[in-house]
């Protein structure tokens, strides 16, 4: 018997008509047999060209939904939200990528509380922004996120392809039409990329309903799950389910999958970890754990289930949580019954999808907070369960008809069979309108402040903000000043600096946290706040009073309040420059010393410090010129006299001799001047005077005796 066509040959050698029988292998899919729902050709193990339209169609539906949102006002280049937090994350992820391509390392140079995957994904858009403007880089990154959301719906259909067309259509449309998909796809969020890599791993891991037999394919699948972990740590939930089934055959499945998983996570992460291992662990893991533990009133189970179902986006705020929980419970019971009814024929892929979904949904109860875009992650795996369940239900109906000996030419007419996908598409389309209204309400705070910020803040200024997307959208995220603070995630800083606490007003803010922000504001030229007195900045009474004294409001608009630092006095600039110089921030220090001279050309201390910096850098001519400028203002400036004498010791010893003598004439107890003068006289051949000055130096400061050879002391 031909195992493909199922044809029989009779004993007389005459060919019999080919009979189609239902074959349900362990893959769970049907290769042949009549379906009560679909035309016969759709029941076969569909060739690629036959079912390609399903993932394409579901992907386009998902992309169209995101496209509708992005075509609304202010969606492409504006800020998507302010007080509601809907427009914050994109500024953090793209802003961190911009800092990265400018040479700042996350974890080491600035706070970033996620794995580095998103930074690497968005770095190309940060590079594009350097050429075309960062507002255009932001726009392209948002469009890419919409494409990823569309690709996810197509991948969801592909992941259940072993169950045939109905399962693919259900899984793809379930994710494409998930009511809260817009919450994840309207801008840069981690969930679409997390889902992308998890679904890619699932598609590569599954072959005809079973684990792939190719070690290379399993290695690639593991790598995709590892890359998902680089985006967000939640990838551990489906990865655990995948590992469980792969470990059953360690050599052929478990080992290649685990190697790929480790490689996918470690290789992109390792450079960042090595740059700051302690901070990496603190920011990515400890801060997030503290965040969950610090929530005094975590989001309730009912609220989480309502959000994961997307019901509020369809039915509005009036949705009854009890009804939603009942419907979800009934759905879970239906899935369990279908799985139990087909347990003996259920493929490993189906068990993985079920276990992965349970793991992901269970993981959603761990965070203390639960934002709307979080729901997209469990929705992706729930859509796979929906596809598998529909495929299994179709299998049960098909088997029943086979037992009743329903012929191929069923009494169910072709239009009725074709109506099933039509009804599915109609229901999906019907849900679009309330979801579209919900998306409009969800993003009703979207706006633009770029024109105001551009007109007020010169390009290249050092600017701090509580919401980085404000500066990205106005192309003011980068500064020409070296040493400008790299503040990217003010919200995340609360998690790392205040033991996982979310932003709040309190006098009990850790001293280091508050003083760090005040030091940054001392260096900045401008501060832009999305709301006045934003709690993303750790204000205390002292910090608020200091800010009022040192900053003045210069512009304001809807959700953009711009403050400019009151110009510092020459003395204050010099003091700040000295601090920067001690911290190794030479460019900023030089800029401050130069600015001090503009305000006060007689600031001898500024000339002196510029001379010290030049001398440290080996530029003797510039250092000599700066010291002479300082002495032209104050001829008895001891430090300038001393440093100039040191510079002249080799090139102009006579001048150096005069300078040391002038210092001693002004202060006869200057031991260091006497010491250097003694050594200089010794080199010039005047041993008697040299020994006299050396003895004087040691008498004034006995600790200098170690620097003078013993045979030179006391004649």
Over residues 95-118, the pLDDT tens digits come to 999 999 999 999 999 999 999 999
pLDDT of residue 198: 96
Q: What is the DSSP string of 673-694?
A: HHHHHHHHHHHTT-HHHHHHHH
Mean pLDDT across 422-426: 57
Q: Are strands 463-465 and 210-211 parallel, antiparallel or unpaired?
A: unpaired
pLDDT band at 268 (very low <50, low <70, confident <90, very high): very high
Nearest to 389 by CA among 346, 326, 429: 346
> In b/e form, how buried is each residue of 344-372, taking b as 16+ CB within 10 angstroms?
ebbbbbbbbbbbbbbbbbebbeebbebbb
* Distances 127 to 136, 137, 174, 623 between C-alpha atoms, Å: 11, 8, 35, 39
Taking 3-state DSSP, the helix, strand and coil percentages for the chain, each rounded to the nearest 5, stand at 65, 5, 30
**According to the per-residue pLDDT averaged within each range, which of 94-98, 211-215, 425-429, 531-535 is highest?**
94-98
**Helices and strands counted in the chain (H then E):** 32, 6
Question: 714 vs 308, which has greater pLDDT?
Answer: 308
Least confident piece of the model among 417-431, 484-498, 582-596, 689-703:
417-431
Mean pLDDT across 384-396: 89
Nearest to 239 by CA among 288, 199, 207: 199
Query: Is pLDDT of 603 > 70?
Result: yes
Tell me the β-bridge partners of 553.
Answer: 563
Tell me the β-bridge partners of 403.
Answer: none
Contacts of 687 (CB under 8 A, 6+ apart): 681
pLDDT of residue 310: 85
Least confident piece of the model among 5-9, 241-245, 482-486:
5-9
pLDDT of residue 550: 85
Tell me the β-bridge partners of 211.
Answer: 206
pLDDT of residue 94: 94
Query: Any idea which residue has 């990823």 for tokens?
Result: 148
Over residues 148-198, the pLDDT tens digits come to 999 999 999 999 998 888 889 899 999 998 988 888 888 899 999 999 999
Question: 434 vs 570, which has greater pLDDT?
Answer: 570
pLDDT of residue 426: 58
Dist CA 228 CA 246 (whole Å): 18
Question: Contacts for 301-306 with beta carbons within 8 Å, 24 or more apart?
Answer: 301/365, 303/370, 304/364, 304/365, 304/370
3-state secondary structure of 608: helix
Mean pLDDT across 518-539: 89
Dist CA 293 CA 277 (whole Å): 23
What's the whole-model pTM score?
0.77
> In b/e form, how buried is each residue of 676-694, taking b as 16+ CB within 10 angstroms?
bbbbbbbeeeeeeebbbbb
pLDDT of residue 264: 95
pLDDT of residue 2: 33
* Distances 137 to 78, 123, 188, 676 between C-alpha atoms, Å: 12, 10, 12, 60
List, in sequence order, the alpha helices (H) in 443-540: 450-456, 468-473, 490-497, 511-523
Mean pLDDT across 365-387: 92
Nearest to 377 by CA among 391, 367, 363: 363
């Amino acid at each position: 018997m031909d195992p493909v066509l199922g044809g029989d040959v009779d004993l007389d050698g005459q060919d019999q008509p080919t009979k189609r029988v239902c074959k349900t292998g362990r893959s769970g899919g049907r290769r042949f047999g009549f379906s009560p729902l679909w035309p016969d050709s759709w029941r076969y193990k569909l060739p690629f060209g036959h079912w390609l339209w399903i993932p394409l169609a579901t992907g386009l539906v998902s992309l169209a939904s995101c496209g509708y949102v992005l075509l609304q006002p202010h969606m492409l280049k504006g800020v998507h939200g302010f007080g509601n937090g809907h427009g914050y994350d994109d500024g953090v992820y793209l802003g961190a990528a911009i800092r990265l391509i400018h040479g700042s390392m996350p974890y080491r140079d600035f706070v970033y509380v996620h794995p580095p995957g998103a930074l690497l994904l968005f770095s190309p858009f940060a590079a594009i922004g350097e050429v075309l403007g960062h507002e255009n880089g932001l726009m392209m990154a948002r469009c890419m996120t919409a494409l990823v959301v569309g690709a996810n719906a197509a991948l969801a259909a592909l992941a259940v392809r072993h169950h045939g067309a109905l399962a693919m259509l259900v899984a793809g449309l379930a994710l494409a039409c998930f009511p809260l998909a817009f919450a994840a796809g309207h801008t840069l969020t981690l969930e679409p990329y997390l889902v992308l890599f998890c679904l890619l791993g699932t598609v590569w891991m599954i072959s005809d309903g079973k684990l792939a037999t190719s070690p290379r394919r399993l290695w690639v699948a593991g790598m995709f799950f590892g890359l998902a972990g680089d985006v967000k740590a939640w990838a551990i939930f489906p990865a655990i389910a995948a590992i469980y089934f792969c470990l059953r055959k360690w050599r052929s499945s478990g080992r290649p999958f685990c190697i790929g998983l480790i490689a996918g996570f470690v290789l992109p992460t390792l450079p960042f970890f090595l740059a700051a291992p302690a901070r990496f662990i603190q920011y990515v893991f400890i801060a997030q754990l503290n965040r969950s533990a610090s929530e005094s009133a975590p989001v309730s189970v009912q609220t989480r289930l309502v959000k994961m179902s997307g019901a509020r986006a369809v039915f509005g705020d009036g949705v009854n949580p009890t009804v939603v929980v009942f419907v979800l419970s009934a759905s879970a019971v239906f899935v369990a019954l279908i799985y139990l009814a087909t347990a003996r024929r259920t493929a490993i892929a189906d068990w993985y999808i079920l276990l992965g979904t349970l793991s992901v949904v269970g993981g959603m109860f761990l965070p203390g907070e639960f934002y709307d875009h979080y729901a997209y992650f469990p929705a992706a795996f729930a859509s796979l369960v929906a596809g598998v369940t529909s495929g299994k239900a179709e299998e049960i109906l098909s088997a029943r008809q086979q037992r009743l000996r329903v012929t191929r030419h069923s009494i169910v007419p072709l239009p009725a069979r074709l109506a099933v996908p039509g009804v599915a598409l109609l229901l999906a389309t019907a849900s679009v309108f309330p979801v579209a209204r919900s998306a409009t309400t969800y993003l009703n705070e979207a706006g633009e402040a770029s024109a105001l910020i551009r007109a007020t803040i010169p390009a290249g200024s050092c600017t701090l903000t509580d919401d980085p997307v404000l500066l990205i959208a106005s192309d003011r995220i980068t500064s020409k000043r070296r040493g400008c603070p790299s503040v990217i995630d003010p919200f995340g800083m609360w998690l790392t600096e205040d033991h996982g606490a979310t932003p709040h007003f309190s006098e009990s803010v850790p001293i280091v946290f508050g003083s760090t922000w005040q030091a940054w504001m001392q260096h900045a030229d401008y501060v832009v706040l999305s709301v006045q007195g934003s709690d993303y900045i750790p204000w205390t009474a002292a910090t608020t009073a200091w800010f009022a004294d040192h900053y003045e409001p210069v512009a304001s608009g809807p959700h953009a309040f711009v403050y400019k630092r009151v110009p510092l006095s020459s003395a204050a600039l010099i003091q700040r420059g000295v601090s920067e110089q001690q911290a190794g921030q030479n460019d900023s220090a030089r800029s401050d010393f130069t600015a001090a001279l503009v305000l006060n050309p007689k600031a001898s201390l500024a000339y002196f410090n510029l001379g010290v910096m030049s001398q440290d850098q080996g530029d003797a001519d510039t250092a000599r010129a700066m010291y002479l400028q300082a002495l032209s203002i104050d001829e008895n400036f001891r430090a300038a006299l001393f440093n100039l004498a040191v510079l002249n010791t080799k090139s102009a010893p006579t001048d150096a001799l005069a300078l040391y003598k002038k210092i001693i004439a002004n202060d006869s107890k200057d031991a260091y001047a006497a010491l250097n003068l003694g050594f200089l006289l010794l080199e010039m051949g005047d041993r008697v005077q040299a020994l006299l000055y050396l003895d004087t130096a040691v008498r004034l400061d006995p600790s200098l005796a170690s620097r003078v050879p013993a045979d030179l002391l006391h004649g």
